Amino acid sequence: MSEEKKQNVVMVTGGSGLVGTAIRKYIEETGATSVETWVYLSSKDGDLRSREDTEAIFEKYKPTHVIHLAAKVGGLFANMAQKVEFFRENILINDNIMECSRIYKVEKLVSFLSTCIFPDKTTYPITETMLHDGPPHPSNEGYAYAKRLIDTMNRAYAEEYGCNFTSIIPTNIYGPDDNFSIQNGHVIPGLIHKCYLAKKNNEPFTIWGSGTPLRQFVYSRDLAELTVWVMREYHDPAPITLSVDEAEEVSIKDVALAVVDAMEFKGEVKFDTSKADGQFKKTAANHKLRSLKPDYKFTSMKDGIQQSVDWFLANYETARK
Ligand code: NDP
Ligand 1 nearest atom to the CA of residue 186, by list position? 40
pLDDT value at residue 3: 59
Q: Which domains does the chain have, with CATH numbers?
A: 8-178+216-247+283-301 (3.40.50.720)
ipTM: 0.99
- Average pLDDT score over residue span 190-210: 94
Burial of residue 297, with CB atoms counted within 10 A of its CB: 0-12 exposed, 13-18 middle, 19 or more buried: exposed
Secondary structure of residue 112 in the 3-state scheme:
strand
Q: Which helix (H) or strand (E) holds 255?
A: helix 252-263
pLDDT value at residue 76: 77
pLDDT value at residue 277: 77
Ligand 1 nearest atom to the CA of residue 16, by list position? 9
pLDDT value at residue 1: 47
Closest CA to 134 of 148, 114, 151, 146: 148
Query: Which residue's C-alpha comes closest to atom 28 of ligand 1?
Result: 69
**71 Cβ below 6 A of ligand 1:** yes
Query: Which residue's C-alpha comes closest to atom 48 of ligand 1?
Result: 43
Burial of residue 132, with CB atoms counted within 10 A of its CB: 0-12 exposed, 13-18 middle, 19 or more buried: exposed
pLDDT at 271 over 50: yes
Query: Which residue's C-alpha comes closest to atom 4 of ligand 1?
Result: 17
137 CA from centroid of ligand 1 (Å): 21
pLDDT at 200 over 60: yes
Q: Is 143 a catalytic residue?
A: yes
- Average pLDDT score over residue span 293-321: 95
Q: What is the pLDDT of residues 124-181, one digit of tens each?
A: 999 999 999 999 999 999 999 999 999 999 999 999 999 999 999 999 999 999 999 9
**117 Cβ below 6 A of ligand 1:** no
Q: How confident is the model at residue 261 (pLDDT cuts 50, 70, 90)?
A: very high
pLDDT at 240 over 60: yes
70 CA from centroid of ligand 1 (Å): 4
Answer for the pair 134, 122: CB distance below 8 angstroms, yes or no. yes
Average pLDDT over the chain reads 94
- Average pLDDT score over residue span 176-197: 91
Those residues whose C-beta lies under 8 Å from the C-beta of residue 81, and which sit 6 or more positions away, are none
**20 Cβ below 6 A of ligand 1:** yes
Those residues whose C-beta lies under 8 Å from the C-beta of residue 238, and which sit 6 or more positions away, are 128, 129, 166
Secondary structure of residue 149 in the 3-state scheme:
helix
- Average pLDDT score over residue span 195-208: 94
pLDDT value at residue 268: 93
Q: How confident is the model at residue 184 (pLDDT cuts 50, 70, 90)?
A: confident
Q: How confident is the model at residue 281 (pLDDT cuts 50, 70, 90)?
A: confident
Ligand 1 nearest atom to the CA of residue 147, by list position? 34
Q: What is the pLDDT of residues 60-73, one digit of tens each?
A: 999 999 999 999 98
16 CA from centroid of ligand 1 (Å): 8
